[in-house]
């Protein structure tokens, strides 16, 4: 293989190779070229997204650590802080779904551990192609099995998540994993290397050839040849990770570590170069001192291996024996593999000889590409929805049951029952609600978390969809009574080299940033996953938002299920609603068209804040936002969750249906739209509270009985509604 073929096969362009020669003042050897290839990959270097990411607000009164570390950290009160982040493992999951998903969970857990926090909760956000295709069914089942297999064994509860299905994700699933950790504010750890002659210690598993050039693989489009790249997918050991968590937390508690860093994408190369660059120092790695699982590994393989369950620590020489003894006690590999130096380079040695040396700052500073933002023509084609071409339903009972049974709307119980969501005994609101709620032991405090994405909306209107994604997360946290405080995000898009995809990325980020500014929810961490496309096409632009919120009194929370017979059902409204981009339009009429209504961010915040105050004041314990499937689906979810029927007065909502079409009012979608339920004795107080707040609302019905009724349009046995909603999701 000639020189050009070498750097091209490693994912480097002609321009990037020329830049490397310019920086070094010479041609790199193969090891050095490998270091650049992984660190300058899109997965590690954010070459196409960095200029756009600057648009996100990062500061806030609760923010202790924003972007730039392994995870963001926010203060929640009484000396406690939450570290959290979401990351993708899309490409690995496309070719090896079980291990791809499992190691995605393991990797995000270690990001939280690197901040000195104990991982206490996992969430996920998943996308697959339609389940009528065998390959999609296989990917779906194995990804879910991988998440459960790793999370359950490592002892961190999986408390929430979301999944959707669309043709655009066929062959390229999206597998995003979020982890939340708990720490005392004074125990927060950062990954900067300091102290000349301090030692570099590797903790965890032995190093093998799994995952070599995985970061480069994650920065390519998926093709028919991708199946042959299974060796780029790591293999996980959750039991080792559990011991690694306990060992690292113990070492931090005893003050034996200067700093700590996860070994994920790009392995030792990424961790060592980033630690060195942040600290303004150099690091020397002795590749022949790295404990290996396989014999005959070359130094470049050692440096870029992505073997799992490994952490890199900086340790003072006087404390290294204590660190190694602790590793042995926890049945982990512990080895001194290098030292901190003052030369500013990542230097690789073997048998005392330097075999590669690159300034750490060069590796950590990938080239940046700023591209033209050009609005794609397809947006004009999908902008208008012609309602005259869409017939109104003849049988609303049949339409509702059909919607409830669709994979995008049916219950996720069959998924989350595969996960241990109560280990640790801190889960207050179980999966299936608008957001997960966790307690902080020894306090009245709690926190809530949700993951949300709106790929179809972002395809039809990238900026509006980006804003709506943040708004949905804000609504979901408010529905359980939590004050939203910050977000992490994972930006899943196609190749940025294509104008359509780059426009989607830029516009979604702009919409998300505007929403974050209005809601006061800064972006404290995140991940970018580009090149999500196959030979058949590109995935929907799918920014995923992981949002966390705080409950001052965790006992004051709400859930969606109806609690009592005879409760008044109240709709907090934001009309008009629309069928554009709706689940109803796609499921019933097979169409993806029309620009959905752009969210009114000020109204979104106003309505959500009112609902949250009603919950924290103890007035409301039943709340749910109206989202996919519209009003009828939201009511059905509340009835089934509570096991109590409901009767809605059609005359109370009919005037607001719009255009004289009843399907719009029942199944249309919009934002700032909530359902709450209260007992009769609280009704007058609720009216006064809503009146003072100045939000529009309607008393639309009563709970009770065993039927689900909306005027003369829908009349079903509750058990039939439940049967549709709780359908078998694994065909």
pLDDT digits (tens, 9 = 90+) for 387-414: 888 899 999 999 999 999 999 999 999 9
**Gyration radius (Cα) of the chain, Å:** 26
- Each residue of 209-229: pLDDT tens digit? 876 754 444 445 555 554 544
Same domain, 66 and 165: yes
Q: Confirm if 492 and 539 have CB atoms less than 8 A apart.
A: yes
Same domain, 91 and 160: yes
Picking from 319, 336, 363, the residue at the C-terminal end of a domain is 363
Same domain, 81 and 104: yes
- Each residue of 271-281: pLDDT tens digit? 999 999 999 99
Other CB atoms within 10 A of residue 385 CB: 19
Q: Confirm if 450 and 85 have CB atoms less than 8 A apart.
A: no
How far is residue 554 from each of residues 152, 168, 284, 442, 551, measured CA to CA in Å? 25, 40, 48, 12, 5
pLDDT level of residue 235 (50, 70, 90 thresholds): confident
175 pLDDT exceeds 60?
yes
- Each residue of 443-456: pLDDT tens digit? 999 999 999 999 99
Predicted local distance difference test score (pLDDT) of residue 212? 76
Question: Does any domain span residue 326?
Answer: yes
Average pLDDT score over residue span 669-680: 94
Same domain, 253 and 385: no
140 pLDDT exceeds 70?
yes
- Each residue of 419-430: pLDDT tens digit? 999 888 899 999
147 pLDDT exceeds 50?
yes
Predicted local distance difference test score (pLDDT) of residue 573? 85
Nearest to 117 by CA among 145, 81, 91, 144: 81
Same domain, 336 and 414: no
Average pLDDT score over residue span 92-100: 93
Rounded percentage of the chain residues whose pLDDT exceeds 90: 83
288 pLDDT exceeds 80?
yes
* pLDDT: which is higher, 544 or 210: 544
Predicted local distance difference test score (pLDDT) of residue 228? 46
Q: Hey, CA dihedral for 162, 168, 169, 170, is it positive or negative?
A: positive
619 pLDDT exceeds 50?
yes
Same domain, 382 and 275: no
d(CA 284, CA 711): 74
Same domain, 613 and 638: yes
What does the DSSP assignment read for 183-200?
Answer: EEGGG-------STTPEE
Rounded percentage of the chain residues whose pLDDT exceeds 70: 95
d(CA 512, CA 521): 10
Q: What is the CATH number of the domain that holds 692?
A: 3.90.650.10
Predicted local distance difference test score (pLDDT) of residue 424? 85
Question: Does any domain span residue 172?
Answer: yes
pLDDT level of residue 343 (50, 70, 90 thresholds): very high
Predicted local distance difference test score (pLDDT) of residue 386? 82
Question: Does any domain span residue 637?
Answer: yes
pLDDT level of residue 650 (50, 70, 90 thresholds): confident
Question: Does any domain span residue 529?
Answer: no
Same domain, 300 and 275: yes
3-state secondary structure of 664: helix
Q: What is the mean pLDDT of the chain?
A: 92
Predicted local distance difference test score (pLDDT) of residue 224? 54
Residue range of the domain that includes 303: 53-363
Question: Does any domain span residue 466?
Answer: no
Known catalytic residues?
43, 89
Picking from 339, 363, 387, the residue at the C-terminal end of a domain is 363
Average pLDDT score over residue span 354-360: 96
Question: Does any domain span residue 452?
Answer: no
Number of folded domains that form the chain: 2
Same domain, 386 and 356: no
Predicted local distance difference test score (pLDDT) of residue 652? 64
pLDDT level of residue 700 (50, 70, 90 thresholds): very high
Give me the sheet containing 707-710, strands edge to edge.
622-625, 674-678, 568-572, 697-703, 646-648, 707-710, 714-717
Average pLDDT score over residue span 550-575: 95
List phi, psi (to 5°) of 408. -75, -15
d(CA 414, CA 209): 36
d(CA 152, CA 419): 6
Same domain, 238 and 154: yes
Same domain, 317 and 383: no
Q: Compute the residue count for the chain.
A: 731
d(CA 42, CA 22): 21
Question: Does any domain span residue 546?
Answer: no
Average pLDDT score over residue span 651-664: 68
Same domain, 385 and 352: no
Question: Does any domain span residue 35?
Answer: no
Identify the weakest region by mean pLDDT among 183-187, 224-228, 286-290.
224-228
């Amino acid at each position: 293989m000639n020189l050009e073929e070498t750097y091209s096969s490693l994912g480097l362009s002609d321009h990037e190779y020329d830049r490397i020669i310019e920086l070094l003042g010479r041609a790199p050897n193969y090891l050095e070229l490998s270091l650049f290839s992984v660190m300058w990959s899109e997965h590690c270097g954010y070459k196409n997204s960095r200029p756009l990411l600057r648009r996100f607000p990062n500061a806030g009164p609760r923010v202790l650590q924003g972007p730039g570390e392994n995870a963001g950290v926010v203060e929640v009160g009484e000396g406690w802080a939450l570290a959290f982040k979401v990351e993708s493992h899309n490409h690995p999951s496309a070719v090896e779904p079980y291990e791809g998903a499992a190691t995605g969970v393991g990797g995000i857990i270690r990001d939280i551990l690197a901040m000195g926090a104990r991982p206490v909760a996992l969430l996920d956000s998943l996308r697959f192609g339609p389940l009528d295709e065998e390959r999609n069914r296989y990917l779906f089942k194995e990804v879910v099995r991988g998440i459960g297999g790793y999370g359950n064994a490592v002892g961190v509860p999986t408390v929430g998540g979301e999944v959707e299905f669309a043709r655009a994700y066929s062959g390229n699933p999206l597998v995003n994993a979020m982890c939340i950790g708990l720490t005392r504010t004074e125990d927060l750890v950062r990954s900067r290397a300091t102290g000349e002659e301090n030692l570099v210690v590797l903790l965890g598993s032995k190093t093998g050839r799994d995952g070599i050039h995985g970061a480069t693989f994650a920065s390519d489009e998926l093709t028919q040849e991708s199946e042959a790249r299974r060796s780029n997918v790591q293999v996980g050991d959750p039991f080792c990770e559990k011991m690694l968590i306990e060992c690292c937390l113990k070492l931090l508690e005893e003050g034996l570590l200067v700093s700590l860093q996860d070994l994920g994408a790009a392995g030792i190369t990424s961790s060592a170069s980033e630690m060195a660059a942040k600290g303004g120092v150099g690091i020397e790695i002795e590749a022949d001192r790295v404990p290996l699982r396989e014999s005959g590994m070359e130094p470049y393989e050692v440096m870029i291996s992505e073997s799992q369950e490994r952490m890199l620590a900086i340790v003072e020489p006087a404390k290294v024996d204590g660190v190694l003894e602790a590793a042995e006690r926890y049945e982990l590999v512990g080895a001194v593999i290098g030292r901190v130096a003052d030369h500013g380079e990542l230097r690789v040695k073997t048998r005392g000889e330097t075999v590669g040396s690159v300034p750490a700052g060069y590796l950590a500073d990938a080239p940046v590409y700023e591209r033209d933002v050009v609005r794609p023509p397809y947006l004009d084609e999908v902008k208008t929805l012609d309602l005259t071409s869409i017939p109104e339903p003849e049988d609303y009972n049949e339409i509702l049951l059909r919607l409830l049974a669709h994979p995008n709307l049916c219950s996720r119980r069959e998924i989350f029952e595969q996960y241990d969501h109560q280990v640790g005994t801190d889960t207050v609101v179980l999966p299936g609600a608008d957001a997960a709620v966790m307690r902080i032991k020894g306090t009245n405090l709690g926190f809530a978390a949700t993951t949300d994405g709106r790929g179809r909306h972002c395809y039809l209107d990238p900026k509006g969809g980006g804003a709506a994604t943040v708004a949905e997360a804000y609504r979901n946290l408010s529905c359980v009574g939590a004050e939203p405080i910050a977000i992490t995000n994972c930006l899943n898009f196609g190749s940025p080299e294509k104008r359509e995809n780059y426009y989607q990325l830029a516009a979604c980020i702009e919409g998300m940033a505007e929403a974050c500014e209005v809601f006061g929810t800064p972006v404290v961490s995140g991940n970018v996953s580009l090149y999500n496309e196959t030979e058949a096409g590109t995935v929907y632009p799918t920014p995923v938002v992981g949002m966390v919120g705080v409950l001052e009194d965790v006992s004051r929370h709400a859930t969606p299920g109806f609690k009592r017979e005879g409760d008044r059902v109240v709709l907090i409204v934001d009309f008009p609603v629309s069928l554009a981009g709706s689940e109803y339009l796609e499921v019933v009429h097979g169409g993806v068209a029309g620009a959905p209504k752009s969210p009114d961010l000020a109204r979104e915040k106003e309505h959500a804040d009112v609902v949250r105050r009603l919950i924290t004041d103890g007035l409301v314990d039943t709340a749910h936002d109206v989202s996919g499937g519209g009003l009828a689906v939201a009511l059905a979810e509340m009835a089934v969750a509570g096991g109590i029927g409901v009767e809605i007065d059609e005359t109370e909502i009919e005037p607001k249906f719009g255009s004289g079409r009843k399907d719009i009012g029942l199944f249309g979608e919009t934002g700032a739209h909530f359902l709450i339920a209260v007992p009769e004795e609280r009704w007058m107080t609720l009216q006064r509270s809503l009146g003072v707040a100045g939000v529009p609302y309607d008393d639309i019905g009563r709970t009770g009985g065993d039927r689900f009724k909306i005027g003369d349009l829908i009349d079903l046995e509750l058990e039939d509604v439940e049967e549709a909603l709780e359908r078998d999701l694994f065909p």
